[in-house]
Amino acid sequence: MKSIGVNINSCKDHDGKIREYVEKVIKEENSNIKVEFYDEINYFEEACRMKPDFFIVFGGDGTILNAARNLVSCNIPIFGVNIGHLGFLSAIEFKDFKSAIQKILKGKYFLQDRTMIKCSFIKGHSKKIFYSLNEVVLYKGNMAKILKYNIDVDDKFYMGFKSDGIIISTPTGSTAHNLSAGGPIIYPNLDVVSITPICPQGLHRGSIILNGKSNITISGIDANEDVYITVDGRVPVDVKGVSFIEISELNYKCKLLKLNDYDYFDVLRKKIILRTEECEGDKY
């Protein structure tokens, strides 16, 4: 192992103590490893050029999601360290960082491929494309009104809906907004995608699970209504007047680095099902 990239959520490390500690730990284990810090979003392009052996992300789930969207096409594995609130996507808590580095440098880890999806639409004369590790959500600007739309899968009509919105989720995102809306928990390395309507009218209230390579089209949206999408919970994007929105599997996989003793079901119980205090990020 020659180089490691590091991204720390700047809001969590105002005085730079985490940065100092991280570099100290890595250098103590192997002084020949080059440690590169990427503090700003724009620096991810530089990380893709430098191609570190893996990328350590310190923050909450939002920080990891951001890194995944920016690094997925570079095929750089991501190792998440929780210094946020929930940290469900993280491999470890901050207090375990030193022992984790020791295990990684001894090769005691594995890479897990995670499906990502691409959301695209044409507005005006430009095509917009967004990458997502968790989900794409379509909803009305005025939540007091119902949203009407149609769903097609692989060019075949699935169903028309009247609901508060709809969630197109990856397995990774199945425990996020999808679960809150009544959708199923999906094991993270499956190559599938789920469609979950939010508070739908009518008798059909369940989700549908599709092959991950399915092409999903949302159409039939009233062109006069204020409608938005959010991708991985980011800033809403106005899609008013858009004829159709396409969602499909991204050609690249997000690679998450996990230690050999990582236990998905233990994390699922503690951080999602039981929501114990352990989901609070550790102090350094």
- Output the known binding site: 61-62, 134-135, 145, 162, 164, 175-180
Which segments are annotated as binding site for NAD(+)?
61-62, 134-135, 145, 162, 164, 175-180
- Bridge partners of 6? 37, 56
Residue-level length of the chain: 284
- Collapsed DSSP state (helix, strand, coil) of residue 263: coil
Handedness of CA 144, 148, 149, 150 (dihedral sign): positive
List residues with catalytic annotation: 61
- Residue carrying structure tokens 């893996």: 54
| Distance, CA of 149 to CA of 162 (rounded, Å) | 7
| Distance, CA of 69 to CA of 224 (rounded, Å) | 31
SS3 percent helix, strand, coil of the chain, rounded to 5, is 25, 35, 40
| Distance, CA of 244 to CA of 250 (rounded, Å) | 18
| Distance, CA of 245 to CA of 223 (rounded, Å) | 13
Query: Which phi and psi (to 5°) does residue 213 adopt?
Result: -90, 5
Structure tokens at 209: 């699970």
CB 165 within 8 A of CB 254: no
